Amino acid sequence: MKNQQFLLPFVHRLLPANHSTTSFNFIPKHLPVEETSVILLKQFISNSKRLLILTGAGISTESGIPDYRSEEVGLYARSNHKPVQYVEFLKSKAARKRYWARNFVGWPRFSTCQPNATHISVRNLQSVHNKVSCVVTQNVDSLHYKAGSKNVIELHGSAFRVLCLDCDAKYSRFDVQKMLAELNPTIKNTSDMIRPDGDVDISPDIIERFNPPFCLQCGGTLKPDIVFFGDNVPRARVEDVRNSVSESDSLLVLGSSLFVFSGYRIVLQALEENKNVAVVNIGKTRADDIVHLKISA
């Protein structure tokens, strides 16, 4: 009981009753969380000793980063924009030029987004209460690291890293931004717009005269260390996740519709291994009918 009392404030932060102190535009419409849901989640966490937490884009909306699929406020609901496809990026010089031009303009805002109460709660459940063995995130925003979480597996990579497709050299995205600013001194690199991957809309004229980055070691093609749509999660990372799931005793999913199979298969593995699984997400998820606890909040 003592442990549950300590956990209660953190569970309330995971399930805020309202957003009266915020003014974000990317949070879907939802009913206030019920106290019974708070109690159920508290019990779920209290009964866990090695909890694996899987997070999706829904936990970053309160940091000012939109998700893809939420009704009315998600990227797909607000525009016809589709993220760059992996094969397109590899084969098309024009696609790479367009991607880097948009990313250059969107980076200053995207990179300065800060963790919110959920990221802090996940960190505290890990570092203060020793409940969390691993955090697996589908997000590329590195907000878990900014919050201070340890043992984080970034399932789809990170927008903060860049790699060369030709010689495998690695760069900080901040260093690449400096290079882009030098290559494009007349292009303004600010925007009020933001997307889950840092992409923004800019005029065809800017794209046409934009100079993309290149590898300083071999002159090759640079790509963010992100699993683009149509690409596969690296095998070694998949194995790290599988091992982490097996070593855990329960799984808590936060802010993911589990539409992408790389996240959904984590739930399937946990259930196959008889782990307790809970999902907290506004709206439906792919796993609603198979998990032990679903809280729509």
Query: Where do the domains of the chain lie, and which CATH numbers do they carry?
Result: 35-295 (3.40.50.1220)
pTM over 0.75: yes
Report the sign of the C-alpha dihedral through residues 104, 71, 145, 165, in that order. negative
| Number of neighbouring beta carbons within 10 Å of residue 190 | 10
Phi/psi of residue 271, nearest 5 degrees = -70, -40
Which residues sit opposite 51 in a β-bridge?
132, 250
How do 222-226 and 157-164 pair as beta strands? antiparallel
Nearest by Cα to 297 from 39, 120, 77, 25: 39
Per-residue tokens: 244: 């982490």
Q: How far is CA 207 from CA 61, 93, 94, 95, in A?
A: 28, 12, 9, 10
Q: Is 113 annotated as a binding residue?
A: no
Q: Is 134 annotated as a binding residue?
A: no
Per-residue pLDDT for the chain (297 aa), expressed as one digit of tens each?
344 444 555 555 565 544 433 435 656 677 888 999 999 999 999 999 999 999 999 999 999 888 654 444 334 334 455 678 999 999 999 999 999 998 998 899 899 999 999 999 999 999 999 999 999 999 999 999 999 999 999 999 999 999 999 999 999 999 999 999 999 998 876 544 555 455 556 678 888 999 999 999 999 999 999 999 899 999 999 999 999 999 999 999 999 999 999 999 999 999 999 999 999 999 899 999 999 999 998
Q: Is 215 annotated as a binding residue?
A: yes
Q: Is 218 annotated as a binding residue?
A: yes
Catalytic residues: 156
Give yes or no for a contact between 191 and 206, defined as CB atoms under 8 angstroms apart: no
Nearest by Cα to 123 from 89, 161, 151, 90: 151
